[in-house]
Amino acid sequence: MRILLIGGTGSFSSRITEKSLALGHEVLVYARGIRPLGSGSKARIFRAERRALREHAEELGRFAPDVVVDSICFSAQDAEDLVALFPDVRRLVLISTVDVYGEEVGAAPVTEQREPQPVTGYAKGKVAAERVVLAGLGERATVFRPSHILGRGFLTTSLWGRTPYLVSRLQHGKAIPAIDGGRNVLTPVHAVDAAEWVVRSFQSPAADGQIFNAVGGELITQKRYYECIAAVLGAKLTLYPVPSQIFKRYFDAPSQFNWHRPYSCAKAIERLGYAPLGTPELMLSETVQHMIAHGLVRDCLEQPFDDALIELLSRQAAELGQLFEARANWGKT
């Protein structure tokens, strides 16, 4: 088949490119070309901006793709471009996000039956895009909602989101501030597993007009997430709890780790016949080792705020300890 990958050079989308080529498909990658594909890649590159998609309708039409995968569709307008340019495509795959479900989803794994309640502008744009392609292409459209993706090319996540400094903090033996001590739960996914579901949808009738959570098979706590990274580095892990309610009060768009993010991939397993293989240990090991090997780790001394935060949290913990120790004598004369 002829596969058009819009944005096929990113950390996740490049995995789709690789899997498509491995299956013998002819691949055209439409991208700005900022990130090079692997050496020896047989994919053709069409260098252009996403917003200029319609301007290249003739060239893309000559390629006549059987499948179109869009990893950088962020709005209803972007989605309208897809429907207008590829009305007869065999399969249109839109890469969305679990962020569409909203922030406070509870601690039970969320299925695709949950009604989207997007909070951020990014998530609202993705929901709008989903609705456009599903309404415009019907059964020819498939939507995937990945969770926290890990693997080569990705950064680990801290209190502030994806960051190059967390690994360095652990290497320096520094404590890590974590929302509520790392009690929140999440469902990270290995990029390889999410990409496998995508390529399986190309020819599967079970994917017709469907939405799938592309998430890992294991629900873990944020604390375990950090423990896996520390184990890769051979470092000691010390967490300091940051009260979630206080943190959210001062940040309009806090890190995804500030609330529970459990999701279910049961539908993708059942309909697409593939269960994710990536364990937290495996995917975090690959992520951290790639960061180190490719110079993606930044010295945490460049970002002293977390040190100031840890110092304050340490003082508060000591003061609370003194108060609790004195409690036994309260009310006594």
What mean pLDDT, rounded, does the chain reach? Answer: 92
Residue 96's pLDDT is 97
Residue 248's pLDDT is 83
- When pLDDT is averaged across residues 197-209 and rounded to a whole number, the result is 98
Q: Does the pLDDT of residue 194 top 60, yes or no?
A: yes
Residue 332's pLDDT is 67
Cβ-contact 168, 135 below 8 angstroms = no
Give, to the nearest 10 degrees, the angle between helix 222-233 and helix 280-293. 50
Q: What span, in angstroms and rounded, lies between the C-alpha atoms of 167 and 42? A: 34
Cβ-contact 130, 96 below 8 angstroms = yes
CB neighbour class for 257 (10 Å; exposed up to 12, middle 13-18, buried from 19): buried
Q: What span, in angstroms and rounded, lies between the C-alpha atoms of 146 and 188? A: 9
% pLDDT > 70, the chain? 95
Q: Does the pLDDT of residue 177 top 90, yes or no?
A: yes
Cβ-contact 24, 87 below 8 angstroms = no
| Tens digit of each residue's pLDDT (9 = 90 or more) over 207-217 | 999 999 999 99
Question: Which among 285, 287, 149, 279 has a CA at the least distance from the CA of 213?
Answer: 149
Question: Which among 87, 95, 86 has a CA at the least distance from the CA of 130?
Answer: 95
**Residue the block writes with tokens 């959210």:** 248
The domain spans of the chain are: 73-315
Residue 257's pLDDT is 64
Residue 279's pLDDT is 97
Beta bridge partners of 241: 178
Q: What span, in angstroms and rounded, lies between the C-alpha atoms of 121 and 321? A: 42
Residue 36's pLDDT is 60
- When pLDDT is averaged across residues 248-269 and rounded to a whole number, the result is 82
Determine phi and psi for 188, rounding to 5 degrees.
Answer: -65, 155
| Tens digit of each residue's pLDDT (9 = 90 or more) over 4-26 | 999 878 899 999 999 999 999 99
Q: Does the pLDDT of residue 333 top 60, yes or no?
A: no
- When pLDDT is averaged across residues 88-96 and rounded to a whole number, the result is 97
SS3 330: coil
Question: Which among 66, 56, 72, 67 has a CA at the least distance from the CA of 93?
Answer: 67
Report the CATH fold assignment for 73-315. Rossmann fold (3.40.50)
Q: Does the pLDDT of residue 330 top 90, yes or no?
A: no
